[in-house]
Structure 1
Amino acid sequence: MAELGHEGGLLVAKAIGSVAGAWVSLVYLMPKSMREAASRFMTGVSCGVMFGAPAGLWLTERLGLAGQLSPIETTLSGAAAASLSAWWVLGALVRIANRYGAKTDPP
Protein backbone atom coordinates (compact mmCIF):
# COMPACT_ATOMS: atom_id res chain seq x y z
CA MET A 1 0.00 0.00 0.00
CA ALA A 2 1.24 3.49 -0.80
CA GLU A 3 2.42 5.68 2.04
CA LEU A 4 1.03 9.18 2.34
CA GLY A 5 3.05 10.27 5.37
CA HIS A 6 5.51 12.60 3.66
CA GLU A 7 2.95 13.83 1.12
CA GLY A 8 0.48 15.25 3.65
CA GLY A 9 0.83 18.83 2.44
CA LEU A 10 0.16 17.85 -1.15
CA LEU A 11 -2.88 15.83 -0.13
CA VAL A 12 -4.28 18.82 1.76
CA ALA A 13 -3.58 21.06 -1.25
CA LYS A 14 -5.45 18.62 -3.50
CA ALA A 15 -8.41 18.56 -1.12
CA ILE A 16 -8.61 22.34 -0.75
CA GLY A 17 -8.18 22.95 -4.50
CA SER A 18 -10.76 20.31 -5.34
CA VAL A 19 -13.37 21.73 -2.99
CA ALA A 20 -12.69 25.28 -4.24
CA GLY A 21 -13.03 24.24 -7.89
CA ALA A 22 -16.22 22.29 -7.20
CA TRP A 23 -17.68 25.23 -5.31
CA VAL A 24 -16.91 27.64 -8.17
CA SER A 25 -18.50 25.27 -10.68
CA LEU A 26 -21.70 25.33 -8.61
CA VAL A 27 -21.66 29.13 -8.45
CA TYR A 28 -21.12 29.58 -12.20
CA LEU A 29 -24.04 27.38 -13.17
CA MET A 30 -26.62 26.90 -10.45
CA PRO A 31 -27.86 23.32 -10.17
CA LYS A 32 -31.52 22.51 -10.73
CA SER A 33 -31.82 20.25 -7.69
CA MET A 34 -29.99 19.19 -4.56
CA ARG A 35 -29.22 15.86 -6.19
CA GLU A 36 -27.56 17.59 -9.14
CA ALA A 37 -25.62 19.84 -6.77
CA ALA A 38 -24.34 16.86 -4.78
CA SER A 39 -23.45 14.98 -7.95
CA ARG A 40 -21.58 17.93 -9.41
CA PHE A 41 -19.77 18.62 -6.16
CA MET A 42 -18.62 15.02 -5.70
CA THR A 43 -17.59 14.76 -9.36
CA GLY A 44 -15.51 17.91 -9.03
CA VAL A 45 -13.85 16.87 -5.79
CA SER A 46 -13.08 13.38 -7.11
CA CYS A 47 -11.54 14.65 -10.34
CA GLY A 48 -9.60 17.35 -8.52
CA VAL A 49 -8.05 14.88 -6.10
CA MET A 50 -7.24 12.35 -8.84
CA PHE A 51 -5.96 14.73 -11.51
CA GLY A 52 -4.78 17.70 -9.44
CA ALA A 53 -1.03 17.08 -9.64
CA PRO A 54 -0.88 16.23 -13.38
CA ALA A 55 -3.17 19.15 -14.23
CA GLY A 56 -1.02 21.48 -12.16
CA LEU A 57 2.15 20.34 -13.90
CA TRP A 58 0.51 20.72 -17.30
CA LEU A 59 -0.72 24.22 -16.44
CA THR A 60 2.65 25.41 -15.17
CA GLU A 61 4.33 24.16 -18.35
CA ARG A 62 1.72 25.74 -20.63
CA LEU A 63 1.80 29.07 -18.78
CA GLY A 64 5.59 29.17 -18.56
CA LEU A 65 5.62 29.08 -14.77
CA ALA A 66 7.74 25.95 -14.35
CA GLY A 67 10.17 26.44 -11.47
CA GLN A 68 8.39 29.55 -10.19
CA LEU A 69 5.67 27.82 -8.14
CA SER A 70 6.11 25.50 -5.20
CA PRO A 71 4.80 21.93 -5.44
CA ILE A 72 1.96 22.91 -3.07
CA GLU A 73 0.92 25.85 -5.28
CA THR A 74 1.15 23.72 -8.42
CA THR A 75 -0.98 20.97 -6.87
CA LEU A 76 -3.53 23.41 -5.43
CA SER A 77 -4.05 25.23 -8.72
CA GLY A 78 -4.14 21.98 -10.70
CA ALA A 79 -6.73 20.45 -8.38
CA ALA A 80 -8.91 23.55 -8.61
CA ALA A 81 -8.64 23.60 -12.41
CA ALA A 82 -9.37 19.89 -12.76
CA SER A 83 -12.29 20.13 -10.37
CA LEU A 84 -13.77 23.16 -12.12
CA SER A 85 -13.43 21.73 -15.60
CA ALA A 86 -14.68 18.23 -14.75
CA TRP A 87 -18.35 19.12 -14.69
CA TRP A 88 -18.11 21.35 -17.74
CA VAL A 89 -16.59 18.51 -19.80
CA LEU A 90 -19.20 16.04 -18.56
CA GLY A 91 -21.97 18.54 -19.30
CA ALA A 92 -20.74 19.00 -22.87
CA LEU A 93 -20.63 15.23 -23.38
CA VAL A 94 -24.19 14.88 -22.09
CA ARG A 95 -25.43 17.57 -24.48
CA ILE A 96 -23.67 15.92 -27.41
CA ALA A 97 -25.08 12.52 -26.46
CA ASN A 98 -28.59 13.96 -26.14
CA ARG A 99 -28.34 15.68 -29.50
CA TYR A 100 -26.85 12.84 -31.53
CA GLY A 101 -27.90 9.82 -29.50
CA ALA A 102 -30.40 7.24 -30.65
CA LYS A 103 -33.92 8.52 -30.34
CA THR A 104 -36.60 6.05 -29.30
CA ASP A 105 -40.29 6.52 -29.90
CA PRO A 106 -42.44 6.57 -26.78
CA PRO A 107 -44.76 3.56 -26.41
Structure 2
Amino acid sequence: MADFSGAFWMERAIGASAGAAVSLVYMLPKGSREAACRFLAGLISGVVFGGPAGVFLAARLGIVAFLSPSEIMLSGAAAVSVSAWWGLGVLARVAGRWGGARG
Protein backbone atom coordinates (compact mmCIF):
# COMPACT_ATOMS: atom_id res chain seq x y z
CA MET A 1 0.00 0.00 0.00
CA ALA A 2 1.24 3.48 -0.78
CA ASP A 3 2.50 5.72 2.01
CA PHE A 4 0.54 8.98 1.97
CA SER A 5 2.14 10.55 5.02
CA GLY A 6 3.24 14.17 5.25
CA ALA A 7 6.82 13.30 4.30
CA PHE A 8 5.54 11.67 1.10
CA TRP A 9 3.99 14.93 -0.11
CA MET A 10 6.81 17.14 1.14
CA GLU A 11 9.48 15.12 -0.70
CA ARG A 12 7.57 15.36 -3.94
CA ALA A 13 6.73 19.05 -3.52
CA ILE A 14 10.31 20.00 -2.61
CA GLY A 15 11.72 18.00 -5.52
CA ALA A 16 9.25 19.48 -7.98
CA SER A 17 9.90 23.02 -6.70
CA ALA A 18 13.65 22.49 -6.95
CA GLY A 19 13.28 21.27 -10.52
CA ALA A 20 11.25 24.33 -11.46
CA ALA A 21 13.74 26.65 -9.75
CA VAL A 22 16.70 25.09 -11.55
CA SER A 23 14.83 25.44 -14.82
CA LEU A 24 14.65 29.21 -14.31
CA VAL A 25 18.39 29.34 -14.86
CA TYR A 26 18.19 27.73 -18.27
CA MET A 27 14.98 29.05 -19.83
CA LEU A 28 13.52 32.24 -18.44
CA PRO A 29 9.80 32.82 -18.92
CA LYS A 30 8.74 35.87 -20.92
CA GLY A 31 6.20 37.06 -18.38
CA SER A 32 4.71 36.43 -14.99
CA ARG A 33 1.74 34.53 -16.41
CA GLU A 34 4.00 32.12 -18.30
CA ALA A 35 6.19 31.71 -15.20
CA ALA A 36 3.19 30.90 -13.00
CA CYS A 37 1.72 28.43 -15.50
CA ARG A 38 5.00 26.64 -16.02
CA PHE A 39 5.77 26.55 -12.29
CA LEU A 40 2.35 25.09 -11.45
CA ALA A 41 2.62 22.54 -14.26
CA GLY A 42 6.08 21.54 -13.02
CA LEU A 43 4.90 21.30 -9.43
CA ILE A 44 1.79 19.26 -10.25
CA SER A 45 3.57 16.91 -12.65
CA GLY A 46 6.46 16.45 -10.20
CA VAL A 47 4.09 15.57 -7.37
CA VAL A 48 2.05 13.19 -9.51
CA PHE A 49 4.81 11.47 -11.48
CA GLY A 50 7.84 12.00 -9.21
CA GLY A 51 7.81 8.57 -7.59
CA PRO A 52 7.60 6.43 -10.73
CA ALA A 53 10.08 8.66 -12.56
CA GLY A 54 12.55 8.45 -9.69
CA VAL A 55 12.32 4.67 -9.55
CA PHE A 56 12.70 4.45 -13.34
CA LEU A 57 15.72 6.74 -13.41
CA ALA A 58 17.45 5.06 -10.46
CA ALA A 59 16.87 1.60 -11.95
CA ARG A 60 18.01 2.73 -15.40
CA LEU A 61 21.19 4.22 -13.95
CA GLY A 62 21.75 1.21 -11.68
CA ILE A 63 21.94 3.24 -8.47
CA VAL A 64 18.87 2.00 -6.61
CA ALA A 65 21.01 0.32 -3.94
CA PHE A 66 22.86 3.58 -3.22
CA LEU A 67 19.85 5.87 -2.78
CA SER A 68 17.25 6.14 -0.05
CA PRO A 69 13.56 6.21 -0.96
CA SER A 70 13.51 9.94 -0.14
CA GLU A 71 16.37 10.63 -2.54
CA ILE A 72 14.67 8.63 -5.28
CA MET A 73 11.44 10.57 -4.72
CA LEU A 74 13.19 13.96 -4.70
CA SER A 75 15.24 13.27 -7.81
CA GLY A 76 12.26 11.88 -9.71
CA ALA A 77 10.07 14.85 -8.85
CA ALA A 78 12.83 17.27 -9.84
CA ALA A 79 13.42 15.47 -13.15
CA VAL A 80 9.72 15.48 -14.03
CA SER A 81 9.39 19.13 -13.05
CA VAL A 82 12.35 20.14 -15.22
CA SER A 83 10.90 18.17 -18.13
CA ALA A 84 7.48 19.79 -17.74
CA TRP A 85 9.02 23.25 -17.44
CA TRP A 86 11.05 22.79 -20.61
CA GLY A 87 8.19 21.18 -22.52
CA LEU A 88 5.80 24.00 -21.71
CA GLY A 89 8.45 26.58 -22.47
CA VAL A 90 9.07 25.11 -25.90
CA LEU A 91 5.34 24.90 -26.60
CA ALA A 92 4.85 28.52 -25.52
CA ARG A 93 7.65 29.68 -27.82
CA VAL A 94 6.32 27.66 -30.78
CA ALA A 95 2.76 28.86 -30.21
CA GLY A 96 3.94 32.44 -29.92
CA ARG A 97 5.90 32.24 -33.12
CA TRP A 98 3.49 30.31 -35.32
CA GLY A 99 0.19 30.91 -33.59
CA GLY A 100 -2.27 33.60 -34.36
CA ALA A 101 -5.19 34.30 -36.63
CA ARG A 102 -5.01 33.04 -40.19
CA GLY A 103 -6.92 34.34 -43.09
Normalised by the length of structure 2, the TM-score is 0.82
2:64 to 63, 66, 72: 66
2:38 to 30, 37, 40: 40
Q: Deviations over 1:33-55 (max 9, x none)?
A: 11111111111111110110011
- Aligned counterparts of 2:91 and 2:35: Cα–Cα separation in 1: 18
Matches within 5 A, 1:1-107: 4=4, 7-93=5-91, 95=94, 104-105=102-103
Partners of 2:29 and 2:89 within 8 A in 1: no
Partners of 2:11 and 2:74 within 8 A in 1: yes
Which of structure 1's runs of 4+ aligned residues deviate more than 2 A? Answer: 89-96
**Unaligned ranges ≥5, structure 2:** none
Count of residue correspondences: 100
- Aligned counterparts of 2:69 and 2:3: Cα–Cα separation in 1: 18
Q: Deviations over 1:1-33 (max 9, x none)?
A: x973xx322221101001101111122111111
* Residues 66/84 of structure 1: CA separation in 2 closer, same or farther (3 Å cut): same
Structure 2 counterpart of 1:43, one-letter code: A
- Pairwise CA distance, 1:81: 0.4
**Unaligned ranges ≥5, structure 1:** none
| Secondary structure, counterpart of 2:64 in structure 1 | coil
* Residues 3/82 of structure 1: CA separation in 2 closer, same or farther (3 Å cut): closer
Q: Percent identity?
A: 53
Structure 2 counterpart of 1:25, one-letter code: S
| Secondary structure, counterpart of 2:65 in structure 1 | coil
- Aligned counterparts of 2:54 and 2:3: Cα–Cα separation in 1: 22
Partners of 1:10 and 1:71 within 8 A in 2: no
- Greater Rg over alpha carbons, structure: 1
What RMSD in Å do the two structures reach over aligned CA positions? 2.4
